[in-house]
């Protein structure tokens, strides 16, 4: 029994980027806010309060469903999902059941060098629950509190068909999903901060013709933990089967610290959510012309853009992949090309220096002060050998932090142009003439003396010269002077 | 100045306003008169669960200070009793339930905001069957209200407190809520006027939900004109309630003139005059119908064939919604909490101690009919019956302008008489439930007495036809020229 067939389905929840909550006027920017400061009778479930749909949430959900190539149903119905939990103030969650926003879609993405398609079963919209707090905030021992700031924020749930067959595919699907929801402005897709959450259904079967028993894995809070949890769960199920056992249909929680999934049995008996249409909300008719309007606002999506970058700019699959993952980066890249059509050159700068600086500063390109115009200006100057690569890198760093044009930064830092190699040759000769001892040392075989001479030239140029160029110039001078 | 309320027994809001405008009494004096009346009779009737004496006095003084120059706002200085399932900021809102015994609403219901804007004074919160589930006000966790016409009898329910307070002139106006008859049936038992508006005509924001697709706030008064005034104030669209229709408030200009009413056609649904109805009630309603014929109105017999199943469907749909609406009372955020060693235990203890028998019965009923495997056979079927009931009314109302029926098949019964038999209690609403299921408006007005007990007559109209319903109600009130109730209560010892 060597081969096992792995089947994975993913359910991803993303918080939608609306200004207000799904059914009330409360704000949604809950990160860093004191508990229960973004609440009202509606999202706290105070008796007598009623929900009123935030149409922006529905619009973003439809946009998401369209990006995932779903059919948009002509009528959207909100259902109540009934269960008891302290983070759920009404005793039910307003969600969707048999009339979601979209059904029967698909998404394509690159995984392990090939393009893969995963079918999307449904896209629906629902409200988020509150958050339990077990310590701090002056809570007495052995008690818990509930923070309802998050409660009522709209979520879009994207459910795949069981079309994923390895943890790698799952990870690449998630990367594409996040990229897409960010592209269309539906969600910031931040898994660490909880604005993107993922549950997985995993089964392992000895036969490709039938599915194994499905196990639901929850509580994964980074892409890495999804990858690790799936890997663990697949190996666990294989082991159970190899030992002649049976996989039990259950929910398991991923324990990040222990690196294993743990059965959540007993916690949830077979739940019956008693779904029924929420009588407080009327069904919403979705007009085809409204769908068309929303469709018009869809940007070029990451995969299409990646493929276009490969053909139009002759980039490799991986280069195009990195450049198109974030819409802002891809937009920035193309803005540069509009001013300076050398894709190869700009791509190299983007993939190395630009991304490196963003990583070091831990910011998005939109948060940085750099503009396509200033980057192009810089690349052009290097291209014309007006400044050295080293200097250019210094200037670039400055651009990220304080912004400004290349010449402004040069003036501020006291950097002048090296107009020609002739000028540098003159300086190199001067250094040789002024330091006969070092020349003698070098000629007698002391390599260190060359470094001293390079240092002198750098000093005389106030660091504006490229050390490599200086070195080759010095070597040329020294050999001709023999 | 001591005011003898007896002189107010036939008063309408316009009469109070005339006194106020002439400066014969102040708003504060008017309020004191009603507070005194409450003080002297409510110990026996128990219509109020809580009084807002302090707040009401402060407000009355304020109104006296800024008396408007000419036209009074519609409810200027008029005391209003509010059913205790309608949120009133800073006042208790218990829904007649132990589980909300300490709940102070943090906001005003839209209807309460509108009352305040119209110059009304919230005098107190009226008793009700727990969460509006019942037809006698005996399901209140805080004790029953008694019928002012006979203290041994029930005032009806669930808005029994509001109806009894009006009948005994503890307040000239009151709000009730009607899910399956909870405004009309107590209005009938207490001889006052109560309207169930078209579903969506009045905002539900701030009305604590029992069955969301059926609940409506209803105006209650001692005469039709005041009921119209109150309805004008509370009706109209509300951005806080998605189920509230996007129409402006009701206007009495939509009420047909007497001559037009005489040309209209009255439908008599034969199912509402069947064997289960008390003979005296049938006799009285038929006398009234004869009177209408004599006045020139054409009366036609119509049929509402799904009347019988309407009651059964109601007891599927309403409890199903209630089971979900009442899930929030879990002891976590507000109301009663009974501690437990686990979360589950806290939930169980809290809800066991907090809910009464009838509420528990309906939660269990509703939970069952929504459960997977039963949903199609119960909830879905209930909704289908509801559609049939609605069609019944649509068809019947094509043959006439309105329907005239009894409100209740029986007279006010004795306290405790039906508490042991829920089904018998449910039958008290058999003529009010179908129209609630159809979402159409209905009014209950007094049409006479038998052995000192009032008989209610119901007028039903098509959706948003409150104008016609009021038109006939005004016409009948005038024709019958019955005096407004003022039961003489035994002196307290
Ligand atoms: Zn809110």
Q: Quick one: A338 and A439 in the same domain?
A: no
Instruction: Please list all protein residues whose beta carbon sits less than 5 angstroms from ligand 1, which is an ion.
Output: A 24, 26, 40, 42-43
Judge residue B343's burial from the number of C-beta atoms within 10 Å of its C-beta, 0-12 exposed, 13-18 middle, 19 or more buried: middle
Q: Quick one: A67 and A112 in the same domain?
A: yes
How distant is the Cα of A93 from the closest Cα of chain B, in angstroms? 10
**Mean pLDDT score of chain A:** 91
Model-level pTM?
Answer: 0.90
Q: Quick one: B246 and B357 in the same domain?
A: no
For A92, what's the count of Cα atoms within 13 Å in the CB-facing half-sphere? Answer: 26
> Encoding tokens for residue B153?
């009898």
In a domain, B474, yes or no: yes
B97 belongs to the catalytic site: no
Q: What is the pLDDT of residue B474?
A: 97
Q: Quick one: B167 and B315 in the same domain?
A: no
Q: Quick one: B379 and B252 in the same domain?
A: no
Pairing of strands B121-126, B173-178: unpaired
**Tens digit of each residue's pLDDT (9 = 90 or more) over B131-140:** 999 999 999 9
Given B26, B97, B158, B435, the catalytic residue: B158
Q: What is the pLDDT of residue A113?
A: 86
- For A276-321, give the secondary structure using H, E and C: EECCCCCCEECCHHHHHHHHHCCCCCHHHHHHHHHHHCCCCHHHHH
Q: Quick one: B79 and B198 in the same domain?
A: yes
Q: Quick one: A375 and A393 in the same domain?
A: yes
In a domain, B270, yes or no: no
Instruction: Using a CB–CB cutoff of 8 Å, tell me whether B105 touches chain A.
Output: yes
Q: What is the pLDDT of residue B392?
A: 97
Gap between the Cα atoms of A255 and A236, Å rounded: 14
Judge residue A352's burial from the number of C-beta atoms within 10 Å of its C-beta, 0-12 exposed, 13-18 middle, 19 or more buried: exposed
Determine the residue of chain B that is closest to A94 in CA distance.
B324
Q: Quick one: A208 and A74 in the same domain?
A: yes
Q: Quick one: B318 and B205 in the same domain?
A: no
**Tens digit of each residue's pLDDT (9 = 90 or more) over B85-140:** 999 999 999 999 999 999 999 999 999 999 999 999 999 999 999 999 999 999 99
Sign of CA dihedral A180, A181, A186, A188: negative
How distant is the Cα of B207 from the closest Cα of chain A, in angstroms? 5
Q: What is the pLDDT of residue A418?
A: 61
Which among B385, B401, B431 is the end of a domain? B385
Q: Quick one: A362 and A237 in the same domain?
A: no
Q: What is the pLDDT of residue A28?
A: 97
Q: What is the pLDDT of residue A242?
A: 93
Q: What is the pLDDT of residue A410?
A: 78
Q: Quick one: A78 and A158 in the same domain?
A: yes
Gap between the Cα atoms of B392 and B403, Å rounded: 12
Ligand 1 centroid–CA B243 distance in Å is 19
Gap between the Cα atoms of A365 and A326, Å rounded: 10
Instruction: Tell the residue number behind the tokens 């939509």, with chain if given.
Output: B254
Gap between the Cα atoms of B132 and B179, Å rounded: 8
Which among A413, A430, A465 is the end of a domain? A413
Q: What is the pLDDT of residue B397?
A: 98
Q: Do B371 and A41 touch (CB under 8 A)?
A: no
* Contact residues, B window 418-477, toward A, CB-based 8 Å cutoff: none
Please give the sequence-ordered ranges of beta strands (E in DSSP) within B164-273, or none if there are none: 173-178, 193-196, 216-221, 265-269
Q: How does residue A443 score in pLDDT terms, banded at 50, 70 and 90?
A: confident
Determine the residue of chain B that is closest to A145 in CA distance.
B332
Percent of chain A scoring above 70 in pLDDT: 96
Reply yes or no: is the peptide bond before residue B487 cis, omega within 30 of 0: no
Q: Do B332 and A89 touch (CB under 8 A)?
A: yes
Q: Quick one: B107 and B218 in the same domain?
A: yes
Q: Quick one: B233 and B325 in the same domain?
A: no
Gap between the Cα atoms of A320 and A314, Å rounded: 9
User: Residues, chain B, total?
Assistant: 493
B213 belongs to the catalytic site: no
Judge if ipTM > 0.85: yes
Enumerate chain A positions whose Cβ falls within 8 A of a Cβ in B.
41, 44-53, 80, 82, 84, 86, 89-92, 146, 272, 274-276, 278-282
Q: Do B324 and A84 touch (CB under 8 A)?
A: no
Residues 6+ apart with CB under 8 A from A391: A415, A463, A464, A466
From B241, B330, B372, residue closest to A91, measured CB to CB = B330
Gap between the Cα atoms of B29 and B119, Å rounded: 16
Q: What is the pLDDT of residue A214?
A: 93
> Encoding tokens for residue A284?
């919403």
Q: Do A50 and B375 touch (CB under 8 A)?
A: no
> Is the distance from CB of A159 to CB of A13 less than 8 angstroms?
no
B251 belongs to the catalytic site: no
Query: How many structural domains is chain A composed of?
Result: 3
Gap between the Cα atoms of B196 and A113, Å rounded: 68
From A91, A272, A275, residue closest to B328, measured CB to CB = A91
CATH number assigned to the domain comprising residue B214: 3.90.1300.10
User: Residues, chain A, total?
Assistant: 482
Chain A residues with CB under 8 Å of B370 CB are 82, 274-276
How distant is the Cα of B68 from the closest Cα of chain A, in angstroms? 33
**Domain containing residue A369:** 300-413
DSSP string, B149-163: TBTTB---SSTHHHH
Ligand 1 centroid–CA A221 distance in Å is 26
Q: Quick one: B215 and B346 in the same domain?
A: no
Query: How many structural domains is chain B composed of?
Result: 2
Q: Do A280 and B107 touch (CB under 8 A)?
A: no
CATH number assigned to the domain comprising residue A434: 1.10.10.410
Q: Do A50 and B321 touch (CB under 8 A)?
A: no
Average pLDDT over residues A284-291: 96
Q: Which helix (H) or strand (E) holds A373?
A: helix A372-383
* Pairwise pLDDT comparison (B331 vs A422), residue with the higher score: B331
SS3 content of chain B, % helix, strand, coil (to 5): 40, 15, 45
In a domain, B422, yes or no: no
> Encoding tokens for residue B46?
């128990």
Gap between the Cα atoms of A457 and A424, Å rounded: 8
Gap between the Cα atoms of B362 and B36, Å rounded: 39
Q: How does residue A477 score in pLDDT terms, banded at 50, 70 and 90?
A: confident
Residues 6+ apart with CB under 8 A from B319: B211, B362, B363, B365, B366, B369
DSSP string, A173-239: HHHHHHHHHHHTTS----TTTTSEEEEEEEEEESSTTS----EEEEEE-SHHHHHHHHHHHHHHHHH
Angle subtended at Cα A130 by Cα A129 and Cα A134, rounded to the nearest 5 degrees = 135
Mean pLDDT by 10 residues, chain B (493 residues): 75 94 94 95 97 98 86 94 98 98 97 98 98 97 97 97 97 98 98 98 98 98 97 98 97 97 97 91 96 96 94 96 98 96 95 98 96 92 97 98 97 94 86 98 96 96 98 96 75 48
Q: Quick one: B102 and B208 in the same domain?
A: yes
Which among A413, A441, A471 is the end of a domain? A413
Residues 6+ apart with CB under 8 A from B39: none
Least confident segment among A10-14, A197-201, A384-388, B196-200: A384-388
């Amino acid at each position: 029994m060597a081969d096992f067939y792995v089947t994975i389905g993913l359910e991803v929840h993303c918080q939608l980027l609306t200004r207000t909550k799904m059914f009330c006027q409360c704000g949604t920017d809950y990160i860093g806010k004191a508990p229960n400061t973004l609440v009202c009778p509606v999202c706290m479930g105070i008796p007598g309060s009623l929900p009123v749909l935030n149409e922006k949430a529905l619009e973003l959900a439809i946009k998401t469903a369209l990006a995932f190539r779903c059919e948009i149903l002509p009528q959207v119905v909100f259902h109540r999902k009934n269960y008891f939990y302290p983070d759920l103030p009404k005793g039910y969650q307003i969600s969707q059941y048999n009339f979601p926003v979209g059904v029967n879609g698909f998404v394509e993405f690159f995984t392990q060098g090939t393009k893969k398609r995963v079918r999307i079963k449904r896209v629906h919209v629902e409200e988020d629950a509150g958050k339990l707090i077990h310590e701090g905030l002056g809570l007495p021992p052995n008690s818990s509190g509930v923070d309802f700031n998050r409660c009522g924020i709209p979520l879009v749930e994207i459910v795949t068909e069981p079309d994923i067959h390895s943890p790698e595919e799952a990870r690449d699907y998630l990367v594409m999903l996040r990229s897409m929801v960010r592209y269309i402005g539906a969600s910031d897709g931040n898994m660490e901060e909880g604005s993107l959450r993922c549950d997985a259904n995993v089964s392992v079967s000895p036969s490709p013709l039938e599915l194994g028993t499905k196990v639901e894995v929850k509580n994964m809070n980074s892409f890495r933990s999804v990858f690790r949890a799936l890997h663990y769960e697949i190996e666990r199920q294989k082991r159970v089967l190899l030992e002649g056992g049976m996989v039990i249909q259950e929910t398991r929680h991923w324990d990040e610290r222990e690196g294993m999934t743990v059965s959540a049995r007993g916690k949830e008996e077979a739940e019956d959510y008693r779904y029924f249409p929420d009588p407080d909300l009327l069904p919403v008719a979705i007009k085809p012309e409204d769908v068309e309007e929303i469709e018009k606002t869809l940007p070029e999506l990451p995969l299409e853009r990646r493929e276009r970058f490969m053909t139009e700019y002759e980039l490799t699959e991986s280069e195009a992949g990195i450049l198109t993952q974030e819409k802002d980066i891809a937009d920035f890249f193309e803005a540069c090309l509009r001013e300076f059509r050398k894709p190869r050159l700009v791509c190299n700068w983007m993939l190395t220096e630009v991304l490196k600086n963003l990583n070091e500063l831990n910011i998005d390109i939109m948060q940085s002060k750099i503009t396509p115009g200033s980057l192009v200006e810089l690349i052009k100057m290097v291209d014309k050998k007006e400044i050295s690569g080293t200097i250019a890198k210094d200037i670039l760093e400055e651009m990220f932090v304080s912004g400004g044009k290349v010449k402004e930064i040069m003036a501020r830092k006291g950097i002048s142009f090296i107009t020609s190699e002739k000028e540098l040759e003159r300086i190199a000769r001067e250094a040789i003439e002024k330091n006969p001892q070092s020349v003698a040392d070098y000629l007698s075989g002391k390599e260190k003396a060359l470094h001293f001479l390079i240092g002198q030239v750098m000093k005389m140029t106030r660091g504006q010269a490229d050390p490599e160029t200086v070195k080759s110039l010095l070597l040329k001078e020294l050999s001709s002077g023999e | 100045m001591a005011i003898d309320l007896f002189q107010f027994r036939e008063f309408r809001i316009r009469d109070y306003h005339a006194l106020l405008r002439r400066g014969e009494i102040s708003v504060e004096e008017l309020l004191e008169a009603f507070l005194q009346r409450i003080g002297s009779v409510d110990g026996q009737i128990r219509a109020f669960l809580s009084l807002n004496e302090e707040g009401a006095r402060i407000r009355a003084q304020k109104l006296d200070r800024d008396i408007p120059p000419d036209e009074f706002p519609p409810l200027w200085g008029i005391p209003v009793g509010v059913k205790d399932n309608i949120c009133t900021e800073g006042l208790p809102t218990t829904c007649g339930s132990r589980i909300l015994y300490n709940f102070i609403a943090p906001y005003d219901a839209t209807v309460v905001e509108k009352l305040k804007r119209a110059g009304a004074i919230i005098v107190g919160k009226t008793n009700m069957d727990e969460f509006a589930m019942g037809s006698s006000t005996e399901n209140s966790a805080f004790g029953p209200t008694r019928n002012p016409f006979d203290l041994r009898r029930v005032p009806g329910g669930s808005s029994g407190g509001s109806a009894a307070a009006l009948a005994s002139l503890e307040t000239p106006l009151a709000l009730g809520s009607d899910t399956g008859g909870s405004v009309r049936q107590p209005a009938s038992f207490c001889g006052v006027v109560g309207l169930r508006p078209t579903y969506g005509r009045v905002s539900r924001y701030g009305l604590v939900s029992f069955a969301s697709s059926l609940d409506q706030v209803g105006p209650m008064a001692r005469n039709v004109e005041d009921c119209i005034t109150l309805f004008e104030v509370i009706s109209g669209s509300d951005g806080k309630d998605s189920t509230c229709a996007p129409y402006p408030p009701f206007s009495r200009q939509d009420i047909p003139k007497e001559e037009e009413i005489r040309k209209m056609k009255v439908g008599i649904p034969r199912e509402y005059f069947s064997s289960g109805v008390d003979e005296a009630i049938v006799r009285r309603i038929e006398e009234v119908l004869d009177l209408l014929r004599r006045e020139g109105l054409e009366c036609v017999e119509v049929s509402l064939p799904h009347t019988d199943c309407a009651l059964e469907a109601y007891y599927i749909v309403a409890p199903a919604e209630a089971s979900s609406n009442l899930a929030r009372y879990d002891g976590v955020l507000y109301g009663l909490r009974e501690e437990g060693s686990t979360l589950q235990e806290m939930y169980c203890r809290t809800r066991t101690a907090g809910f009464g028998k009838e509420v528990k019965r309906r939660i269990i009923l509703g939970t069952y009919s929504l459960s997977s495997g039963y949903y199609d056979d119960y909830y879905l079927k209930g909704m289908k019956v509801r559609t049939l009931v609605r069609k019944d009314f649509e068809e019947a109302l094509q043959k006439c302008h309105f329907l005239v029926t009894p409100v209740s098949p029986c007279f006010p019964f004795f306290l405790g008489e039906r508490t042991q038999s829920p089904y018998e209690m449910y039958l008290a609403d058999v003529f009010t439930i179908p129209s609630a299921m159809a979402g159409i408006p209905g009014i209950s007005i007094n049409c006479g007495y038998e052995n000192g007990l009032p008989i209610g007559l119901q007028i039903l109209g098509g959706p948003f036809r409150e104008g016609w319903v009021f038109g006939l109600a005004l016409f009948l009130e005038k024709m019958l020229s019955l005096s407004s109730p003022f039961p003489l209560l035994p002196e307290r010892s």
